[in-house]
Amino acid sequence: MSLSTQILSRACGRKVEPGDIIEVPVDYVMVNDVTAPPAAEEFDKLGVEPWDREKIIIILDHYMPNVNIQSAEMTRVLREWAKKRGIKHFYFEGRNGVCHQLMIEEGFVAPGRIILGADSHTCSYGAFGAFATGIGSTEAAGVFATGEIWFKVPETQHFKVEGKLQEGVMGKDLILTIIGDIGVSGSLYKAQEFSGSAISSMSLSDRITICNMAVEAGAKVGLMEPDEKVFEYLKGRVKGEYHPVYSDGVFEEEFEYDASEIVPVVAEPHLPENVKPVEEVDVEIDQAYLGSCTNGRIEDLRIAARILKGRKIHPDVRMIVVPASKKVYEMALKEGLIDIFLEAEAYVGGWTCGACIGAYMGVLGKGERCISSTNRNFIGRMGHPDSEVYLASPATVAASAVEGKITDPRKYLR
C-alpha cells in the first residue's frame, strides 16, 4: 500500500483500498479567521458540545491584525465563541503565525496523524508523514461535533526524485516543475507521494513547500515518509504520542526526476502550471514578495538575505518580507537577517497571510507585476484583476528584487 492508504487503513482498523468510502477519526482540526466564523455558526445550529476542546485549533492569520471594521467584528465574534465553547488552542496577535507554519511549530503535526484544516494548504503537513487535507467550513463544523470525517481513499502518484539540486535551486522549483509537467488537474483527488535521495537530503522547509503546493495540481494530499530529520524536529515539541507509518511502495502512477536537471523556474500568470525556466522570462517587476505558508520559513529568509547582503533593492521595486510566524521572526532578528533586509531597503512586516490573498500589506494595483514566493497566481489573487503574479522560489524573488526584473539567482550564489 502507498503511504496514504497505510495511514487510512491504520485509522480504520482494517485494510482499505483506493476508491473505498471510509469514515475515520481525526487527530486535529484547524480553522482560521476566514473559515472559523461560518464553521462556528453551523456548529451552533447542531445544538451539541464540541467533541474535544483540545483538538480544535483556531488561528488568526489571514486578516491579522484586523484590517477593517468587518475583519474586526469577525474576529471579535470568534473570540467570544471560542471562550464560550472552551476551545483550548486559540492563537491571535502576538502569539501566532501563518496557520500551517504554526500548526507545525506548536507540535500538532506528527507522522501517521489525520489532520484536517479549513484551508486548502493543510496538505503541507504531509511533509511529516501525516495525512492532512483541506475541508470546507461546514465540514469543519461536523468534525467539531463528531471528531470524524469521511473520505474516498485516493489513488497515489509516486514522484521519485534522485540526485542533488543545484546551488540556488529550491524545493519550490521542483514542485513548480512537476506542476508544469502534469498541470493543475494532473493530480485531481489523488495522493502525491514523494521519495528519493533528493527528497531525503532536503531541509524540512523545502519538503513543506513541496507538500504545500500538491493541492495546486488538484491533489488530496502530498506525502513523504518521516525520517530522522522529522523525528529530531519533533523532540520536545510534539503534542502527545505518534505512530510513524511507511509505504510499501505500491502506486497507481510513477514519475521520475533527476534533481540535477531542475533549474530555477517561474510560474507565469495566471496558473501555477504556466512554468518556464527563469532564463526564458524577461519581465520587469514592481514588487517582490517573500513570505506565506509556502516560503516564509527561516531557511527561505536566509537564502534571500544571502543574496541581498551588501546590495540594494532596485529603485523601481518594492520588496516585502513577511516571516511565517513569530518564532521565524525572532530567529531572523537573532541571526541579523532583519538588518540585512532593512539595509537593502526592503519592507519587513509581521507574521500574516496579508498580501498572499490580496488582503493588505502588498496589494497590487492595475497593471502591476509581482514576483512572489506564494502558491497561487490566479487573476486578482494579490490585488487588481489586471495585475500579474509570477510564482518563484525565495532565491529567485530576492535576485529579481535586486535587478528589477525576473532573474536567475544562481549567479548571486556562486
| Domains 3-241+250-257 and 267-412 equal at CATH topology level | yes
Assigned CATH topology for domain 267-412: Aconitase; domain 3 (3.30.499)
- What pLDDT is attached to residue 371? 98
Beta partners for residue 388, in sequence order? 369
The phi and psi torsions of 89 (rounded to 5 degrees) equal -115, 95
What share of residues in the chain are helix, strand, coil (percent, to 5)?
A: 40, 20, 40
- Pairing type for strands 221-224 and 347-348 reads unpaired
Give the SS3 label for residue 219. coil
> Cell numbers 471560542 label which residue?
82
Provide the mean pLDDT of the chain: 96
Count, residues in the chain: 414
Task: Quote the CA–CA distance of 30 and 295 in Å, as a whole number.
Answer: 20
Which residues make beta-bridge pairs with 116? 29, 133
**What separation in angstroms does the CA of 240 have from each of 226, 235, 237, 357?**
17, 11, 9, 33
Nearest to 101 by CA among 314, 294, 366: 294
What are the structural domain ranges in the chain?
Answer: 3-241+250-257, 267-412
Q: Model-level pTM greater than 0.85?
A: yes
Q: Torsions phi, psi of 74, nearest 5?
A: -60, -45
pLDDT digits (tens, 9 = 90+) for 201-249: 999 999 999 999 999 999 999 999 999 999 999 999 999 999 999 999 8
Cell matching residue 243: 505512530
Q: Show the cell assigned to 206.
A: 523545502
> Tens of pLDDT along 346-396?
999 999 988 988 888 899 999 999 999 999 999 999 999 999 999 999 999
Separation of alpha carbons 364 and 219, rounded Å:
29
pLDDT at 414: 81
User: Residue 64 pLDDT > 90, yes or no?
Assistant: no
Question: What is the mean predicted confidence (pLDDT) over 86-102?
Answer: 93
How confident is the model at residue 360, as a pLDDT?
87
What mean pLDDT do residues 397-404 have?
A: 98
Amino acid, single-letter form, for residue 290: L
Q: Residue 170's pLDDT band (boundaries 50, 70, 90)?
A: very high
Helix (H) or strand (E) holding 117: strand 114-117
Q: Rounded CA gap, 209 and 374, in Å?
A: 10
For residue 347, what are the CA distances in angstroms to 248, 355, 367? 47, 13, 21
Topology adopted by domain 3-241+250-257: Aconitase; domain 3 (3.30.499)
The pLDDT confidence band at residue 76, using thresholds 50, 70 and 90, is: very high
Task: Name the residue among 134, 136, 125, 137 with its Cα closest to residue 100.
Answer: 125
Which is more confidently placed, 294 or 64? 294
